[in-house]
Amino acid sequence: MAILVSLIIGGIFILSIGKNPFEIYALLFKGTFGTSYDIGQVLFKATPLIFTGLSVAFAFRAGLFNIGAEGQLYMGAMLATLAGIWIPARFPSLPSLIVVTVCIFAGFIGGGCWGIIPGWLKARFGVHEVINTIMMNFIAYGLTNYLVLEVFSVPETIHTPEIGLSARIPRFDALLGIFRGSPVNISLLIAISFAVLAWVILTRTRLGYEIRAVGLNPKAAEYAGIPVAKTMTLAFFIAGGLAGVAGSNFVQGFKYYYEDGFAAGAGFMGIAVALVARNNPMGILFSALLFGTLSQGGLAINTQVPKELVEILEAVVILAMVVMTELFNRWIIKQKNLS
Amino acid sequence: MAGQLFKVILLILVTAILGGCSGQNPSSTIDNKEKIQVGLVFDIGGLGDKSFNDQAYTGLKKAAAEYSLEMGKDIEYLEPAEAADRETALRQMASKKKALIFGIGFIFSEDVNRVAKDFPETKFACVDYVSPANEADIPPNVVGLKYKEEEGAFLVGALASLVTKTNKIGFVGGMQSPLIKKFEAGYKAGAHYANPKCVVIANYAGMTPDAFKNPSKGKELALSIYDKGADIIFHASGSTGLGVFEAARDKKKLAIGVDADQYDEAPGYILTSMIKKVDVSVFEEVKAVHDNNFANGIRVFDLASGGIDYIYNDKNKNLITEDTHQKIEAIRQKIINGEIKVPSSLD
């Protein structure tokens, strides 16, 4: 229903530039689910959004608004890249499984440490996390930019040297021969398992209970004996770590190097992904898929409509989705009250 | 409520269908099989940058007119939004069985090489191509378009050194990089060749790609160079150069444009522009594939081929004496003949 409404609103925009909405939508559908390659592309684009969506949702459950997933992603990806270059060079005989795991762990630590700073500032000084995380984004961007261009400075490129062979995450294409040509890789499975893990932590553990309690009412949580400051900091560490692993999809699974500015807003998109899924880790899998479809579909129709309109369409779909889910929920509550 | 929604949907459907009918293009019934199919992927920044990407677009339009191709049908282009999309966009074009696909900008070099291996039937061209360490590794269906910017810079350097009244001229570069150093090297060599007494003051806007879009920094640098006694500044710095032009206007001094003819950015204060005809090279590649003349490897555009040039027309004629113009044309001939060797780096 939500999708239908957003398609209609989008159709009006397409009409306004003199194109036939049906043709454009057909193109959009063909470009996202037409061939196994296209499906692979959708999954590839959804993968980092699962991570950043989880990151935002996790912090949100603790009552914290994480605008810093973008910066955490950059820092995590950078640390994972450093590990991916250094470890295979230093220990060439180490099996790939271990190296890949260490790199992903490095990504988690990199993003986590970047998340812990605003978390601590919030818990210790009460400085609002929105301003903290935005500033941390700028610092992360400048820092990684400096590392890529000045420290590594591979001539005539804007990326680092390649990571070692053993640090690379295999693609489905190479492993199973599915999604031929698309870089979709095992990171997708890692993302799904992280989503399950996040769900388990939030709903089935003491830590998750404390996080949710702090998120619902920090004062009440404190009366109940929950260490609020510690819980907030820890929640931000995990949130940052989740965003930090998002880079593995591009760095370890696709290009095998860190490219300056590669994520292009995946961290910010994570906010929308989390909100559409109402911060439910399982729901995030689906909303990330939707956003991945939009992103891939946008590129597919870009030959017919200008980039600006593609961006408008994406935004319209997101808005319609959010409004419709809200209306649907109210309707359900109303029905419940009636019965 | 539901009834109203239904009416709205119906209305939209009707307009959509009507719009679809009126949008039917009569030319689509003509057989397109003989027409060459071209795809192009822009750099991030995309259309409307008033330089590089727009010039490539001009080249496409010229090809469309020449071979009566339809934009959006025979010729299609994409504007990727993120780094991972460059390769995706190239693949998308290739899977549409395009005969020729362009990547605009050095950043496409590795992506083009990779995609070209998977689509051996398709030809690829990359503007400002950076070739692999070993040139033999260039795939057989890839042509790298390179420009001898230093030759054009040499000419405008010589021109500036002849026009200056203070024997001091300036250079403002964007991001410090081998590409921009090439401009500086040619400019300095040209100035010293034509006027050994001429001093060149060079400065750069920064170390990051942002240095190509920082007009206020450009103005600051230009003002300090003018204050040191220079009366002409050449910039190779993207939109940072707009600040250089502003400084020229404030100080009533001269500036030299880059890539495209930038006279209109500050009329009366632009001595000339060193131009890099990306549009010409894009058109030439379409022509080559159309005539079955495609050759892989590196294709160099220089003064001799007309891919690099400087502006001398009715607008800026009054800034350059006939005598000076003759001297520059003589230097051009010497570069083309190989009598002058233009350095491409500072050392």
Q: What pLDDT shows up at residue A162?
A: 93
**Quick check: A178 and A172 in contact, CB under 8 A?**
yes
Question: Is B9 in Cβ contact with A15 (below 8 Å)?
Answer: no
Question: Is A298 in Cβ contact with B81 (below 8 Å)?
Answer: yes
Strand partners, B297: B143
- Collect all residues with Cβ–Cβ distance below 8 Å to B279 and sequence separation of at least 6: B55, B56, B58, B59, B62
The answer to whether A12 contacts chain B (CB < 8 Å) is: yes
**Exposure string over A199-227, b if 16+ CB within 10 A, otherwise e:** bebbeeeeebebbbbbbeebeebeeeebe
Instruction: Indicate the pLDDT class of residue A3, thresholds 50, 70 and 90.
Output: confident
Question: Is A299 in Cβ contact with B80 (below 8 Å)?
Answer: yes
Question: Is A155 in Cβ contact with B23 (below 8 Å)?
Answer: no
Q: Two tokens at B239?
A: 């939109």
The answer to whether A17 contacts chain B (CB < 8 Å) is: no
Pairing of strands B199-206, B254-259: unpaired
Q: Say how far apart CA B255 and CA A125 lie, in whole Å.
A: 53
pLDDT of B191-249, one tens digit each? 999 999 999 999 999 877 778 888 999 999 999 999 999 999 999 998 899 999 999 99
Q: What pLDDT shows up at residue B9?
A: 52
Task: Please say if the pLDDT value at position B135 is more than 50.
Answer: yes
Is residue B73 domain-shared with residue B164, that is, in the same domain? Answer: no
Q: Say how far apart CA B171 and CA B244 lie, in whole Å.
A: 10
Amino acid at A23: E
Q: Using CB atoms, pick whichever of B91, B130, B207 lies closest to residue A150.
A: B207
Is residue B219 domain-shared with residue B70, that is, in the same domain? Answer: no
Q: What pLDDT shows up at residue B6?
A: 52
Instruction: Indicate the pLDDT class of residue B24, thresholds 50, 70 and 90.
Output: very low
Task: Please say if the pLDDT value at position B22 is more than 50.
Answer: no
Question: Is A299 in Cβ contact with B85 (below 8 Å)?
Answer: yes
Instruction: Indicate the pLDDT class of residue B19, thresholds 50, 70 and 90.
Output: very low
Q: Using CB atoms, pick whichever of A8, A155, A261 lies closest to residue B83.
A: A261
pLDDT of B146-194, one tens digit each? 999 999 999 999 999 999 999 999 999 998 877 889 999 999 999 999 9
Does residue B211 lie in a domain region? yes
Could you tell me the strand order of the sheet in which B232-236 lies?
B199-206, B168-175, B232-236, B254-259, B270-276, B308-310
Mutation target for A interface from B54, B79, B149: give the one with most A CBs within 10 A.
B79
Question: Is A22 in Cβ contact with B20 (below 8 Å)?
Answer: yes
Task: Please say if the pLDDT value at position B16 is more than 70.
Answer: no
Is residue B66 domain-shared with residue B154, that is, in the same domain? Answer: no
Q: What pLDDT shows up at residue A196?
A: 97
Q: Say how far apart CA B284 and CA B286 lie, in whole Å.
A: 5
Q: Two tokens at B90?
A: 């190239």
Instruction: Indicate the pLDDT class of residue B43, thresholds 50, 70 and 90.
Output: confident
Does residue B109 lie in a domain region? yes
Q: Two tokens at B133?
A: 């360490």
DSSP output for B115-135: HHHH-TTSEEEEET----SSG
Q: Say how far apart CA A41 and CA A309 lie, in whole Å.
A: 21
What is the four-CA torsion angle of A243, A245, A246, A248, rounded to 10 degrees?
Answer: 160
Question: Is A158 in Cβ contact with B209 (below 8 Å)?
Answer: yes
Is residue B186 domain-shared with residue B219, that is, in the same domain? Answer: yes
Instruction: Indicate the pLDDT class of residue A299, thresholds 50, 70 and 90.
Output: confident
DSSP output for B195-217: -TT-EEEEEEEESSGGGGS-HHH
pLDDT of B88-113, one tens digit each? 999 999 988 899 999 998 889 999 99
Is residue B118 domain-shared with residue B186, that is, in the same domain? Answer: no
Architecture of domain A46-289: Orthogonal Bundle (1.10)
Over residues A309-326, the mean pLDDT reads 82
Instruction: Indicate the pLDDT class of residue B255, thresholds 50, 70 and 90.
Output: very high
Does residue B165 lie in a domain region? yes
Question: Is A264 in Cβ contact with B130 (below 8 Å)?
Answer: no
Q: What pLDDT shows up at residue B30?
A: 43
Which of these, A203, A244, A213, lies nearest to A74 by C-alpha position?
A244
- Collect all residues with Cβ–Cβ distance below 8 Å to A124 and sequence separation of at least 6: A229
In chain B, how many H helices and how many E strands? 10, 12
Q: Using CB atoms, pick whichever of B46, B72, B92 lies closest to residue A299.
A: B92
Q: Using CB atoms, pick whichever of B12, B79, B130 lies closest to residue A156.
A: B130
Is residue B109 domain-shared with residue B179, that is, in the same domain? Answer: no
Verdict on whether the full-model pTM lies above 0.95: no
Instruction: Indicate the pLDDT class of residue B21, thresholds 50, 70 and 90.
Output: very low
Distance from CA of A283 to the nearest CA of B (A): 25
Q: What pLDDT shows up at residue B18?
A: 45
Which of these, A231, A228, A254, lies nearest to A162 by C-alpha position?
A254
Q: Say how far apart CA B204 and CA B242 lie, in whole Å.
A: 14
Distance from CA of B112 to the nearest CA of A (A): 13
Instruction: Indicate the pLDDT class of residue B338, thresholds 50, 70 and 90.
Output: very high
Q: What pLDDT shows up at residue B28?
A: 40
Over residues A165-172, the mean pLDDT reads 94
Question: Mean pLDDT score of chain A, rounded to an integer?
Answer: 91
Mutation target for B interface from A5, A20, A249, A256: give the one with most B CBs within 10 A.
A20
Does residue B106 lie in a domain region? yes
Q: Say how far apart CA B314 and CA B332 lie, in whole Å.
A: 20
Q: Using CB atoms, pick whichever of A19, A255, A264 lies closest to residue B82.
A: A264
Distance from CA of B72 to the nearest CA of A (A): 6
CATH of the domain at B124: 3.40.50.2300
Is residue B199 domain-shared with residue B69, that is, in the same domain? Answer: no
Q: Two tokens at B216?
A: 């206020």
- Tell me which H or E stretch contains A193: helix A187-204
Over residues A139-164, the mean pLDDT reads 87
Instruction: Indicate the pLDDT class of residue B8, thresholds 50, 70 and 90.
Output: low
The packing angle between helices A69-90 and A129-146, to 10°, is 40
Q: Using CB atoms, pick whichever of B23, B83, B179 lies closest to residue A262.
A: B83
Q: What pLDDT shows up at residue B281?
A: 92
Over residues B79-85, the mean pLDDT reads 84
> Which class for B176: exposed (0-12), middle (13-18), buried (19 or more C-beta within 10 A)?
middle
Question: Is B107 in Cβ contact with A302 (below 8 Å)?
Answer: no
Q: Using CB atoms, pick whichever of A156, A254, A307 lies closest to residue B46.
A: A307
Q: Say how far apart CA B72 and CA B79 lie, in whole Å.
A: 13
Which of these, A47, A74, A42, lies nearest to A297 by C-alpha position?
A42
Does residue B15 lie in a domain region? no
- Collect all residues with Cβ–Cβ distance below 8 Å to B181 and sequence separation of at least 6: B173, B345, B346
Please tell me which residue, B288 or A153, carries the higher pLDDT value: B288
Is residue B282 domain-shared with residue B331, that is, in the same domain? Answer: no
Q: Say how far apart CA A326 and CA B5 lie, in whole Å.
A: 18
Other beta carbons less than 10 A from residue A17's beta carbon: 11
Please tell me which residue, B121 or A156, carries the higher pLDDT value: B121
Which of these, A245, A249, A284, A258, lies nearest to A149 by C-alpha position?
A258
Residues of B in contact with A157 (CB under 8 A): 107, 110, 130
The answer to whether A308 contacts chain B (CB < 8 Å) is: no
**Quick check: B285 and B297 in contact, CB under 8 A?**
no
Q: Which residue of A has its CA nearest to B77?
A: A303
- Count of structural domains within chain B: 2
Pairing of strands B232-236, B254-259: parallel
Instruction: Indicate the pLDDT class of residue B29, thresholds 50, 70 and 90.
Output: very low
Does residue B10 lie in a domain region? no
Mutation target for B interface from A248, A303, A311: give the one with most B CBs within 10 A.
A303
Q: Two tokens at B311?
A: 């502006």
Q: What pLDDT shows up at residue B3?
A: 53
Can you list the positions of beta strands (E) in chain B? 38-41, 75-78, 100-104, 123-127, 142-147, 168-175, 199-206, 232-236, 254-259, 270-276, 297-301, 308-310
What is the four-CA torsion angle of A74, A76, A78, A82, rounded to 10 degrees?
Answer: 180
**Containing domain of residue B84, as a range?**
36-147+277-307
Question: Mean pLDDT score of chain B, rounded to an integer?
Answer: 87
Question: Is B84 in Cβ contact with A265 (below 8 Å)?
Answer: no
Task: Please say if the pLDDT value at position B11 is more than 60.
Answer: no
Is residue B60 domain-shared with residue B86, that is, in the same domain? Answer: yes
Q: Say how far apart CA B205 and CA B172 lie, in whole Å.
A: 7
Size of interface A-B (CB pairs under 8 A): 88
- How many alpha carbons fall within 13 Å on the CB side of residue B152? 30
